[in-house]
Structure 1
Amino acid sequence: MKPTAPLPLKDGVAPSYLWLQEAADLWSNMLDFLTARFPGVTEEAWRQRMARGEVVNQDGVALTPASPYRRGDCIFYYRDLEGSETPIPFTEQILHQDEHLLVVDKPHFVPVIPTGRFLHESLLVRLKKKTGLADLTPIHRLDRETAGVLIFSHNPASRGAYQAMFQQRTMDKTYEALAGMLEGRSFPFVHRSRMVDADKFFLMREEEGEPNSETHIDLIERRGALGLYRLNPVTGRKHQLRVHMAALGIPIVNDNFYPHVVPAGTADNYDAPLKLLARSIAFTDPLSGDVRYFESLRTL
């Protein structure tokens, strides 16, 4: 269970937390533990955070470099990035807000939650700054490379009902993708396969066996050598649409993972976004019983 944070939002960033589970006699004090646990953060940076009162225990008591390591405690701190974070020059659009949900049109390249080199440029932190909604949480996911409709909950009391809807896949999600033309195939059709983790931890692959993934595929229009496709995933495997299209021999335009990983450069190529868009989401609201429909304003 997630503990209650004794620190407030800081510039849109919620505090991170860590349960202390190692033996107490391994560490003489909290500074020694933190510098060993987070080798990417300098000792001086931890001293400065502690001096500002930004490292506390579950009771809100500020920790100092000399504070003892206590097994079973929970510490709270703000994640920070050493050096400046490169701005992502694309802006999200809020499509809808009510007392339970915030629906957003996510741009390409923006990660949904803080990860790796992204913190303030993550969609979650951007939206917390923009709306002031401290309890904002995404209730489904989109890859950083994918644009389109994303739904957040900002009411903890009703969050479970909406999360269950996505877990049980009782909603209709429609994507659009730009890829090569699949000749000699009648549309629409269904692609099913067994997807498993690939050798690289961030990839998936297909293998022989009982299918565990399913996508309905239709052709919207032909654009020269390319086709604009409508994709309706029945299951929600990681990278499912990208894997399925690559397996059919028509990888999505500008896909740097499938069918082959393109070595990453030092910066994103903003002129070549992945041509995959979460076009719309439709569902019956679990609280009101109303039919809800949200559609992206973006185009491929």
Structure 2
Amino acid sequence: MPAMHPADFTPPMLHGVSASKVFLKPSPSSIQTVFAYMCLQFPHIEAAEWQQRFMDGLIYDAKGQQLRIDSAFQAGSHVFYYRFLKREIHVPFEHAILFENDDLLVIDKPHFLTISPTGQYVQETLLVRLKNQMGNEQLSPIHRLDRETAGVVLFSKRPETRGIYQQMFADRQVQKTYHAVAPYDSGLQFPQTVRLNMDKGQPFYTMQVCEGTPNSETEIQLLEHNQLWAKYLLKPHTGKQHQLRVHLSHLGLPIKNDPFYPKIAHKAGDDFTSPLQLLAKHLEFKDPVTFEGMQFSSKMELAL
């Protein structure tokens, strides 16, 4: 990392990873070093991993000085650190750029690729891959797709206009169209609109249907089918977590290869054999910066 004047220190991007900032809060007197503080604050990360990060020169103080494992703890200041994993499962699928201008980057995301660093993925995430590819540390996703879901996702290139695009999604000014492959049931009539009250389920990363006023709505159309499977067109009018997966499962039509609904069926992290058959196929909106009509479609297709 290049030397910087303390007053000008802004941690640079390193291998596509931006530095995280941690404020050092007052702590027990037994905490004498920054190393001990980080181990206390992040108990899910092994001490050996923090030790390695200090040894690799990945921890900096507010002035840009590299910290050692014995660097003294000072409450009220802050430190920067970079997150890397010793072992990370390679995701053997590539994204594609569908469109780019001064403010937006539109990506066709493959299945199995998490959007942002989390848990067991850092380098093998779409955001870090794009930062490495584009050399733009300011890249940030404007909305989200599940790791299991493929298709169109928008990234902001500039902080100056990011909030405008995020508000566009918050105000539901974006028309989203998904495709899904799920069982065919001749007893169900389409098109139909599903309205359900959804809330957090158990385990915590799932959602469940509850009694009460509906807070989620999806329009569902039947595109094609054979005797066993059908392709459905889904237009969510709300944006609840796992909404499309829960709505189809509630109809007795769980999406093909869904590991969560109707029951949990975890797979190994390196098992890429059965992607969830859910695709963010199309996005359409009026650009709040240029006022142009914008529409983007995934080049991927789901087959019965």
Which band: TM-score by shorter chain?
Answer: over 0.9
- 1:90 equivalent among 93, 102, 105: 93
State the shift of 1:10 in Å: 0.9
Paired position in structure 2 for 1:66: 70
State the shift of 1:48 in Å: 4.7
- Residue 13 (str. 1) matches residue 17 (str. 2): yes
The CA distance in 2 between the partners of 1:213 and 1:45, in whole Å, is 42
State the shift of 1:266 in Å: 2.9
Paired position in structure 1 for 2:186: 183
State the shift of 1:39 in Å: 4.5
The CA distance in 1 between the partners of 2:197 and 2:237, in whole Å, is 13
1:266-289 C-alpha deviation (Å, 9 max, x unpaired): 334322110000001000000111
SS at match of 1:125: helix
Paired position in structure 2 for 1:118: 121
Within 5 Å, which residues of 2 pair with 1:146-295? Answer: 146-262=149-265, 264-295=266-297
Cα 1:205–1:50 change in 2 (3 A) is same
- 1:36 equivalent among 28, 40, 43: 40
CA RMSD of aligned residues (A): 1.8
State the shift of 1:19 in Å: 1.8
1:251-300 C-alpha deviation (Å, 9 max, x unpaired): 000001000001x2433432211000000100000011110001000011
The CA distance in 2 between the partners of 1:151 and 1:213, in whole Å, is 23
Counterpart of 1:49, as a letter, is R
1:21-55 C-alpha deviation (Å, 9 max, x unpaired): 24363411112222333446555654553355421
- 2:106 equivalent among 103, 113, 132: 103
Task: Indicate conservation of the 8 Å contact 1:283/1:291, yes or no.
Answer: yes
State the shift of 1:56 in Å: 1.4
Task: Indicate conservation of the 8 Å contact 1:5/1:76, yes or no.
Answer: no
Cα 1:45–1:243 change in 2 (3 A) is closer
The CA distance in 1 between the partners of 2:204 and 2:184, in whole Å, is 30
Cα 1:185–1:74 change in 2 (3 A) is same
Give the gaps of 5 or more residues in structure 2.
1-7
The CA distance in 2 between the partners of 1:46 and 1:239, in whole Å, is 34
Paired position in structure 1 for 2:59: 55
Deviation larger for 18-27 or 101-110: 18-27
Cα 1:265–1:217 change in 2 (3 A) is closer
Counterpart of 2:301, as a letter, is T
The CA distance in 2 between the partners of 1:274 and 1:135, in whole Å, is 30
The CA distance in 2 between the partners of 1:257 and 1:210, in whole Å, is 24
The CA distance in 1 between the partners of 2:46 and 2:202, in whole Å, is 33
State the shift of 1:182 in Å: 3.0
The CA distance in 2 between the partners of 1:45 and 1:224, in whole Å, is 52
Task: Indicate conservation of the 8 Å contact 1:24/1:70, yes or no.
Answer: no
The CA distance in 2 between the partners of 1:5 and 1:267, in whole Å, is 38
1:56-113 C-alpha deviation (Å, 9 max, x unpaired): 123323323333222222211011112x322111110010111001000000000001
Give the gaps of 5 or more residues in structure 1.
none
Deviation larger for 179-188 or 217-226: 179-188
Task: Indicate conservation of the 8 Å contact 1:24/1:69, yes or no.
Answer: no
Counterpart of 1:215, as a letter, is T
The CA distance in 1 between the partners of 2:221 and 2:291, in whole Å, is 30
1:135-160 C-alpha deviation (Å, 9 max, x unpaired): 00001000000000000001111111
Aligned length: 295
The CA distance in 2 between the partners of 1:5 and 1:81, in whole Å, is 25
